[in-house]
């Protein structure tokens, strides 16, 4: 029996490494990662995965086999920082998606594209609120067009504030739950961007991977949201950590709300099983070491 060849772009990143790990547990899969290690790290490497180093714009020369499936997670993925990093955002997100879609078209394989829930933020106004949000929103349109123009089979997913093991905890690309955890561990003030009332739906990495694999195997089309229906304001999250809070000035591109659309993913049999409060309690019990 021939194994199913699966390529994960961004496979050494936070979400990508967990996806590679899950896919590689299936003996019928042959799993490959393509990553430029911009935010990914070799520490995230997992067994039974072939790692290819390079940018997605060079996918045609780097990937020397024909995959059956591509999970395209390997793009720039920060809102506020994208204003300063706009050239990088363009190369990784716009040049990258074109190269990947051309590769997919020639390989005649399915693509699962990781879109961004920022395009649903603030009643749809969030799609143009930052270079990151705009590139991701327009990329979903290009994926759909390739489906219409060239009969490329695709599924588009949307994550909502992923947290869990291997989150980036330090530096300008740190994510909120990991950042607050590190600050609690170090006995520092919990810094929150004003006004603090911006709502987010925090989703555990295991729930994200459950959804990704399910949609990858069975989903076709757009709007496969993978997110917890529970929403918290940023200030409410900080209060769950029970540390001292320091408010920071407002930042450009920071959306206030997001609509969580999970109906299509639920119809495939997915549902979120983990809760943020339980995760924070486990961290607290483990003296703020990752769980």
**Is the per-residue pLDDT at 38 higher than 80?**
yes
Fold (CATH) for 4-285? Rossmann fold (3.40.50)
Beta bridge mates, 133: none
How many whole angstroms separate alpha carbon 196 and alpha carbon 248?
9
pLDDT in tens, 47-105: 999 999 999 999 999 999 999 999 999 999 999 899 999 999 999 999 999 999 999 99
**φ/ψ of residue 52, rounded to 5:** -115, 125
**φ/ψ of residue 256, rounded to 5:** -95, -35
Note whether 175 and 163 are within 8 A (CB): yes
How many whole angstroms separate alpha carbon 15 and alpha carbon 167?
8
Break the chain into its structural domains and give their ranges: 4-285
Note whether 143 and 154 are within 8 A (CB): yes
Query: In this predicted structure, what is the pLDDT of residue 290?
Result: 79
Residue 282 CB partners (closer than 8 Å, separation 6+): 291
**What are the structure tokens assigned to 199, written together?**
């709502």
Note whether 38 and 65 are within 8 A (CB): no
Note whether 210 and 270 are within 8 A (CB): yes
How many whole angstroms separate alpha carbon 201 and alpha carbon 37?
27
- Cα distance between the two ends of the chain: 38
Query: In this predicted structure, what is the pLDDT of residue 257?
Result: 74
pLDDT in tens, 7-33: 999 999 999 999 999 999 999 999 999
Count CB-CB contacts under 10 A for residue 149. Answer: 11
Plot region of 196 (φ>0 → left; ψ -120 to 50 → alpha; else → beta): left
Residues 119-134: what's their mean pLDDT? Answer: 86
Q: Which of 34, 76, 80 is nearest to 59 (CA)?
A: 34
Q: Mapping DSSP to helix (H, G, I), strand (E, B) and coil, where does residue 113 land?
A: strand
Count CB-CB contacts under 10 A for residue 40. Answer: 24
Alpha helices in the chain (DSSP H): 14-24, 59-62, 86-89, 96-107, 131-150, 176-186, 205-218, 234-241, 263-267, 276-285
pLDDT in tens, 189-241: 999 999 999 999 999 999 999 999 999 999 999 999 999 999 999 999 999 99
pLDDT in tens, 235-284: 999 999 999 999 999 988 777 777 789 999 999 999 999 999 999 999 99
């Amino acid at each position: 029996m021939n194994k199913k060849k699966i390529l994960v772009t961004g496979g050494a990143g936070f979400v990508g490494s967990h996806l590679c790990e899950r896919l590689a547990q299936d003996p019928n899969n042959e799993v490959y990662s393509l990553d430029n290690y911009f935010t990914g790290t070799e520490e995230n490497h997992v067994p039974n995965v072939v790692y290819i180093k390079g940018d997605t714009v060079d996918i045609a020369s780097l990937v020397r086999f024909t995959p059956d499936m591509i999970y395209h997670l390997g793009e720039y993925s920060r809102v506020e920082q994208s204003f300063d990093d706009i050239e990088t955002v363009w190369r990784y997100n716009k040049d990258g998606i074109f190269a990947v879609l051309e590769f997919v078209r020639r390989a005649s394989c399915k693509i699962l594209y990781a879109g961004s829930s920022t395009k649903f933020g603030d009643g749809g106004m969030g799609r143009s609120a930052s270079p990151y949000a705009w590139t991701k929103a327009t990329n979903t349109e290009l994926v759909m067009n390739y489906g219409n123009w060239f009969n490329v089979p695709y599924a588009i997913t949307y994550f909502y504030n992923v947290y869990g093991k291997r989150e980036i905890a330090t530096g300008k690309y740190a994510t909120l739950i990991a950042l607050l955890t590190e600050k609690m561990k170090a006995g520092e003030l919990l810094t929150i961007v004003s006004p603090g009332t911006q709502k987010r739906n925090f989703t555990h990495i295991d729930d994200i991977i459950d959804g990704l694999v399910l949609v990858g195997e069975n989903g076709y089309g757009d709007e496969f949201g993978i997110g917890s229906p529970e929403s918290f304001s940023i200030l409410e999250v900080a209060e769950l950590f029970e540390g001292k809070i320091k408010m920071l000035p407002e930042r450009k591109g920071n959306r206030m709300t997001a609509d969580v659309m999970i109906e299509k993913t639920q119809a495939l049999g997915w549902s979120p099983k983990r809760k943020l409060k339980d995760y924070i309690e486990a961290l607290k019990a483990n003296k703020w070491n990752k769980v």
